[in-house]
Amino acid sequence: MSISFRTVSHLNEDQRDALAEIVNIGMGQAGAALAQVLGEFVILSVPRIRLVDSQAVPETLAELVGAETTVSAIRQPFHNHLHGEAIVVYDEHGCRDLADIMGHDECTDERVEQELLLDIGNILAGASLKGVGEQLQAEITFSPPSILATHVPVERLLDPEALDWSYSLLIEVNFTLEARRFKGHLLIMLSEDSIDTLVRDIDAFLESL
């Protein structure tokens, strides 16, 4: 069993609360930034934080997003101080609303749709992680986002067989736009190595209070 698993299983109550608070503040900043760029008020849920076993990824996704939901998703790597991938999952109703927000008339073109998913995903993941990074005084850098899948059942988004890690720290936030049907989920997944780094950061954060 990896060291990181032991570490996280020992994530104590204080550390857990601190992490939730850090993420929460980060999300608040993200919400404000998003409102500015999109011209829409974005409602972000309270973050849910959990350790996820790679074998349990399909069930976890189904539980968070809703079983048998057809979704599209993008992924975006982040690195530097913390290393992992952000995955933004959109439900099927999202596209038309997104097109409208971003000033497109239609959402008929597949390329336009994908560009919207990528743009919004980049904004969400970027704003949220930047917020978290600022709390922890950690620089986070992003690589370009790419399409993970379009129009697939949520259970099939990630294939456990293809994942070469055992455990990841998953931070989930769902977001809705006020007065629209649009709903999405931001999943920030930290690599095993980064879990240790994060735990150290949290301790430093707690000491600084």
Partner 1 sequence: MPSSVPEGLLEFIVDRINVGILAVDRAYRIILWNEFMASYSERPAREVLGRDLFEAFPELPRKWMERKITGAVVLKNFSFASWKQRPYLFRFNHNRPITGGIDHMRQDITFMPVMDGQGEVTHVCIYIYDVTDTAVYQTMLQDALRRLAESNNRDGLTGVYNRRYLEESLEYEFTRARRYGHPLSVLLLDLDHFKRINDTHGHLAGDEVLRQAAQRITSAVRNVDVVGRYGGEEFLVLLPETDSEGAQVVAERIRSLIAAQPVVYGDTAIDISTSVGLATLDERMAAYTDLVERADGALYRAKDGGRNQVVVQVAGE
Q: Which residues bind partner 1 (CB under 8 A)?
A: 33, 36-37, 102-103, 111-112, 114-115, 118-119, 122-123, 126-127, 130, 141-142, 144-147
Q: Are 128 and 188 in contact (CB under 8 A)?
A: yes
Shortest approach of partner 1 to residue 138 CB, angstroms?
A: 15
| Cβ contacts of 186 within 8 Å, gap of 6 or more | 86, 87, 88, 124, 125, 128, 172, 173, 174, 175
Between 45 and 141, CB nearer to partner 1: 141
Shortest approach of partner 1 to residue 76 CB, angstroms?
A: 9
Between 113 and 192, CB nearer to partner 1: 113
Shortest approach of partner 1 to residue 108 CB, angstroms?
A: 14
Shortest approach of partner 1 to residue 1 CB, angstroms?
A: 36
Between 133 and 184, CB nearer to partner 1: 133
Between 38 and 64, CB nearer to partner 1: 38
Shortest approach of partner 1 to residue 144 CB, angstroms?
A: 4
Q: What is the CA radius of gyration of the chain?
A: 17
CB-based burial label for 155 (10 Å; 0-12, 13-18, 19+): middle
Q: Is the four-CA dihedral 7, 10, 12, 185 of positive or negative sign? A: positive
Between 133 and 195, CB nearer to partner 1: 133
- DSSP secondary structure letters along 26-53: HHHHHHHHHHHHHSS-EEEPPPEEEEEE
